[in-house]
Structure 1
């Protein structure tokens, strides 16, 4: 597939060869005159400037959010590991918004097939629909995927002529046919912005939600959720305006910039995660480049986390400590034992839990969990994560 047909090259100021040898710019292969070899890369940066799905419309001409973030990102010092990152330039929008979604679908799918992680930067949050479509299976059986969204509110509005796609894109993902979703997690919602019926719907679907208050109290709670995701979609509106003044309408509440960077670090570590999108940045609302710096730092931490990925396979082998807990088994649908695994690596505190379907014992999943889940089970209580997974297994 000739991806170069879909992209515009980067402006001269972003491809100049005068970068200091220790900066990110010195190690990124950028689209200037020659399109980068994306098949040989670990990660590929893609700039987006599509705003037809937003209520506010496009920023003024010349305000390209992805380029603004690149300016800050390229100036940063490279991380601790080898960097095989390409910058494919900026995607040309399709003739219609739906064309852009389909274009994104084809590009992300091609990168996934090459084991290159797409990093989507800019445009409306509704563009994650194109990111999502890339995971639609082309063959049976249907592999179920897990995804996570970080946003100040779940975008679950009922679509009608007056609804902007950015306000209903999450609903569109969840009702898409064929349904190839196993689980969805929504992180960072603010209670006063979220209709109660939306949270009730997520609970009935057995999807996990985590409010901004919970994350700010202990952001480590998000680690197992992000460790399970196959792709991640982030709206800059999840970050409080003081730390990222690049969206409208502004909100003084939300995640801090350090919270956002830590969540991207967790996501980068996840060897199952194969794409990430950072959406919603409007440079015309960011006169001092503060939001651009926040997003650039989030990118840096995601890429550095990617360098520290280690395969977490071989459950039940010497790689893991195995803990088997005997439970009372008080009734039908209640397990008599639970099995937990903990990585033996000294630099991590990662736990997993084995969930066997009570309806079909041949169906089993090993899901990321916390040490706290193990402690709950040790006291005879079924962890909520086990209950949710059991319900999803059917």
Structure 2
């Protein structure tokens, strides 16, 4: 792999790391340093990857940032009883142009995913998600993406890409690989009615902040089905973060955002996780510690992944069939994990990329709703997308 894109972790952070307890996370990482170069990735299952790109911020005024404080906070945490080897690959610096940064990120993520290594990308602006998405072009036919954000970030796709309009580019740029896009934690007053209507028209999923705060387990099936998870720190309420990071009095609290991150880690499908819109400030300890804890909880989730057994073997699951308005709905419940799925039938006359019966993650409540003659919303949207 070409590691020319990567710059090592700063000596300042490494000196700080030397003072930490031997049990601390920083002492157990394989770290890209000036002295030792890029670490060997043999046996590594998760890497930290900083991206120092923020020029596509729609409010960009030339400010620089670095991730030293995030790394210090992360290194100082103690690992759980984990069986994963973690590396810190350092940072991708700004390229000559933003497109150069995208290329470096896309290439690096592509190689890591092929090696079955999960990157945790800690970045500047959230438009970097576009480069993350493009890394999958040659890897899988259809991509599911989840955005943890107070906004949909659809924007005007005819205009240059920005951190508040990158999803429009993902939807409309070829090759068309996006199957599902879901936003977790959106706040209605930050999104135009046209965008809310468009999300519905495209059969994409959106979950309001209030919905998730009331029942955080709603995010589990959505994240179980995701390949890419992109987290915007502006989805966190301002009382939880530093001065520069403050965005809205409403948003997720620290506990909720870490719980969502852990659900993302537990998902067997999630193969890249990004934390974006980090803005360093003089009173930075709070935000950098929050980013470190979000990353920690994601890794914790990865360590608790359980592969559900093959659904071809009837001994591994229970099958439930219900009728809703003459439509037969078939549910499966895993005996091993207790997780639920619903089958989306394959339509023979439609030439889409999903050439089989697709199992869509759902929750027990969806089955109970179906028993009461109510079609689950996730099933309906997936079925409609499958029919297009």
Verify same fold: TM over 0.5.
Answer: yes
TM-score of the two chains, using structure 2 as the length reference: 0.92
Q: Check the 8 A contact 1:151/1:237 in 2, yes or no.
A: yes
The answer to whether 1:2 aligns with 2:2 is: yes
Instruction: Pick closer, same or farther for the CA change 1:60–1:383 going to 2, 3 Å.
Output: closer
SS at 1:278's partner residue? strand
Q: CA deviation at 1:270?
A: 0.8
Given candidates 55, 59, 62, the residue that maps to 2:58 is: 55
Q: Kindly indicate whether the alpha-carbon contact (under 8 Å) linking 1:269 and 1:309 is maintained by their aligned counterparts in 2.
A: yes
Note if contact 1:358-1:390 (Cα within 8 Å) is conserved in structure 2.
no
Change (3 A) 1:254 1:319: farther
Deviation at 1:7, TM superposition (A): 1.2
Is 1:67 the counterpart of 2:65? The answer is: no
Which residue number corresponds to residue 320 of structure 2? 324
Q: 8 Å contact 2:322–2:370 — kept in the other structure?
A: no
Contact 1:237 1:247 survives alignment (8 Å): no
| Cα distance, 1:246–1:152 mapped onto 2, change above 3 Å | farther
Change (3 A) 1:342 1:58: farther
Separation of aligned partners in 2, 1:389 and 1:53:
32
Q: 1:83-139 CA distances to partner (integer Å, 9 max, x unpaired)?
A: 31000011122110011111111110010111111111021111111111101127x
Question: Distance in 1 between the 2:135 and 2:384 partners?
Answer: 26
What does residue 376 of structure 1 align with? 369
Match for residue 196 of structure 2 among 187, 195, 199:
199
Partner of 1:125, secondary structure, is: coil
Distance 1:391 1:90, change over 3 A: same
3-state SS in 1 of match to 2:90: strand
Shift of 1:325: 1.8
Displacement of 1:272 = 0.7
Residue 28 of structure 1 corresponds to which residue in structure 2?
Answer: 29
Cα distance in 2 for partners of 1:59, 1:151 equals 24
Deviation at 1:360, TM superposition (A): 5.0
Q: Once the 2 structures are TM-superposed, how far is the Cα of residue 51 of structure 1 from its aligned partner? A: 1.1
Aligned mates of 1:77, 1:60 — CA distance in 2: 32
1:358 deviates by 4.7
- 1:231–1:216 Cα change, 3 Å: same
Q: Could you tell me whether the CA contact under 8 Å between 1:233 and 1:279 is conserved in 2?
A: yes
Per-residue CA deviation, residues 35-56 of structure 1 (Å, 9 max, x unaligned), is 1123531011111111111133
2:11 counterpart of 1:12: yes
Displacement of 1:316: 4.3
Gapped regions of structure 1 (runs ≥ 5): none
* Alignment: residue pair count: 379
Query: Where does residue 111 of structure 1 map in the other structure?
Result: 112
Q: Is 2:331 aligned against 1:340? A: yes
1:113-170 Cα offsets, whole Å, 9 max, x none, are 11111111021111111111101127xxx71111100111111221577x76112111
1:241 to 230, 238, 243: 238
**Matched position secondary structure for 2:375:** coil
1:73 aligned counterpart, secondary structure: helix
Aligned to 2:210: 213
Cα offset, 1:317, TM superposition:
2.5
Q: For the Cα contact (< 8 Å) 2:54–2:125, is it kept in 1? A: yes
Change (3 A) 1:264 1:80: same
Do the aligned partners of residues 328 and 228 (structure 1) sit closer, same or farther apart at CA in structure 2, a change above 3 Å counting? closer
Moved more, 91-100 or 320-329: 320-329
Verify: 1:173 aligned to 2:162, yes or no. no
> Contact conserved, 2:369 with 2:375, CA < 8 A, in 1?
yes
Structure 2 unaligned runs (5+)? none
Pick closer, same or farther for the CA change 1:69–1:58 going to 2, 3 Å: farther
